[in-house]
Amino acid sequence: MKKNKKKETDKLTSSDLVKLGFPAGKPQGTALNVIHTYYTELGKRHQIELLQDVMAAPEQYQIHATLGPLAQVLLAQKAAESIALKPVKQKYAVYGEAGIEQGAIDQMETAMRLPVSRAGALMPDAHQGYGLPVGGVLATHNAVIPYGVGVDIGCRMSMSIYDIHARYLEKNREKLKKILTDNTRFGNASFKRPMDHEIMSRPEFSEIPVVRELKDRAFQQLGTSGGGNHFVEFGTVEIHDADNEFGLPAGKYLAVLSHSGSRRLGANIAGYYTKVAIDACPLPQEAKHLAWLDLNSEAGQEYWLAMNLAGDYASACHHQIHERLTAQLGEAPLAKIENHHNFAWKEKNASGKEVIVHRKGATPAGKGVIGIIPGTMATPGFIVRGKGEAAAINSASHGAGRVMSRTQAIKTFTQPQMRKYLQQAGVDVIGSGLDEAPMAYKDIHKVMDYQKDLVEVVGTFYPKIVRMNGDPKYIEVD
């Protein structure tokens, strides 16, 4: 401490600013001027901290009495160095616009102005996210946007349909509740002894430095589900269309439906490469989180490999979830259905050119492609067949979409209200909370109606016994 005292009385010079990474020229000059005019009493260490604060977030100091001019110079510098957005936005299709919040529209319009953007679409469950809105689809040329994929890389749906009649569920509710509680893990919980999976021997786990550090935790979290809107549930599925790709006669079956992603592995991959992208790709403030990685760059290729690993890992987790439940039911599934809804794919557009299609909370719906669109814990989900609508970039919604935020839902609804809703729907819920109340979501039937040109319904899934993250004592319907 004492040793530093002498240094602290030093006068701040331009060489100090260079060490801080302060841009040369006007930013340095303005900084010295401001410090030596208003902050001479502060001591050098605090002067430096102050400058670092302004540099980290100049937009927060724009109208500051003494630091404002410096913040404005820094912002001008940033704007001059950043990649320009196209002045005119490209057109894109919006489905169910009446139910989509303005914030999501604004984000999509910004995304359409990126020089790498080729096409976009907004699904009827869209809401504001980080960078690209959730429910946003964006096709780019040779570029991948980590926040266009989302934090939970490979977040996906998976369904197993069993040769067990739907009646079995009503007669065995308690047994099935126990099977769910004993064989699924949510949030921080994991299995004492995870089942191994071949995914863990993938070379990416040893070859990509950032992924290597995540391997142990990834093994620990194998076969687990996350928090938030993730779930594992027993329900009944009604197959309407006897001419289906699973060879299932029309009828009502017992089914397991799961929703979750790549856990900490994907979250950390997303966080790491987003930072890399933001450094490599300076964009104006409103587009900052849409920073992309060129697929010809080393970082871009590395992200692509890591993203695919996270997607396969998410799939492996679902497979283990279903494997455990299948073992308890003692019956092999008749059909298995699954799809990612947070991911990027190399696809051909209508004119045959390769584009990178980002689906951030959107279900792949190319012609004849089977997918799952869940509703809420107490409203139906759907097995869908894509119609290959080019304007929607071969996509559909990934759910009902929220009408209010989690915090707003907690403030708006009460436990008795939710309990009543679930009782009326005949749904048992283990875990979860008011933030996932079905009333906080849009009407799934309306959402399906908005996208009838994008998908056709093959089957309807009715959730009956739902497990989500949270205290099991919190909400349990008897």
Partner DNA sequence: ATGTCC
Contact 262, 155 (CB under 8 A): yes
For DNA, which stretch binds (CB under 7 A), given 1-9, 227-235, 282-290, 420-428?
227-235
Classify 122 in phi/psi space as left (phi over 0), alpha (psi -120 to 50) or beta. beta
One residue of 43, 227, 282, 472 binding DNA per CB under 7 A: 227
Does residue 230 bind DNA (CB under 7 A)?
A: yes
Does residue 43 bind DNA (CB under 7 A)?
A: no
The CA-CA-CA angle for residues 102, 106, 108, to 5°, reads 115
- Provide the minimum distance between the beta carbon of 334 and DNA in the complex, in angstroms, as a whole number: 29
Residue number with CB closer to DNA (130 or 168):
130
- Provide the minimum distance between the beta carbon of 157 and DNA in the complex, in angstroms, as a whole number: 13
For DNA, which stretch binds (CB under 7 A), given 1-9, 84-92, 259-267, 321-329?
259-267
CA–CA distance, 210 with 269 (Å, rounded to integer): 7
Partner residues linked to 239 by β-bridges: 251, 459
The secondary structure of residue 241, as a DSSP letter, is -
Residue number with CB closer to DNA (34 or 269):
269
Contact 225, 262 (CB under 8 A): no
One residue of 263, 319, 341, 442 binding DNA per CB under 7 A: 263
Does residue 152 bind DNA (CB under 7 A)?
A: yes
Does residue 151 bind DNA (CB under 7 A)?
A: yes
Residue number with CB closer to DNA (188 or 351):
188
410 phi and psi angles, rounded to 5 deg: -65, -35
Does residue 154 bind DNA (CB under 7 A)?
A: no
CA–CA distance, 230 with 440 (Å, rounded to integer): 15
Q: Could you please report the per-residue DSSP string of 72-118?
A: HHHHHHHHHHSPPPPSSPPP-EESSGGGS-HHHHHHHHHHHTSTTEE
Contact 169, 465 (CB under 8 A): yes
- Provide the minimum distance between the beta carbon of 151 and DNA in the complex, in angstroms, as a whole number: 3
For residues 74-93, which are near DNA according to CB under 7 A? none
Does residue 226 bind DNA (CB under 7 A)?
A: yes
- Provide the minimum distance between the beta carbon of 214 and DNA in the complex, in angstroms, as a whole number: 8
Q: Which one, of 202, 209, 319, 208, lies nearest residue 260 by Cα?
A: 319
Binding mask 183-222 for DNA (x = CB under 7 A): ----xx----------------------------x---x-
Does residue 275 bind DNA (CB under 7 A)?
A: no
Does residue 260 bind DNA (CB under 7 A)?
A: yes
- Provide the minimum distance between the beta carbon of 271 and DNA in the complex, in angstroms, as a whole number: 7
Question: What angle in degrees, to the nearest 10, is found between the helix axes of 298-329 and 173-183?
Answer: 140
Does residue 229 bind DNA (CB under 7 A)?
A: yes
Q: Which one, of 213, 215, 212, 219, lies nearest residue 197 by Cα?
A: 219
Does residue 264 bind DNA (CB under 7 A)?
A: yes
Binding site for DNA (CB under 7 A): 151-152, 155, 187-188, 217, 221, 226-230, 260-261, 263-264, 267, 469
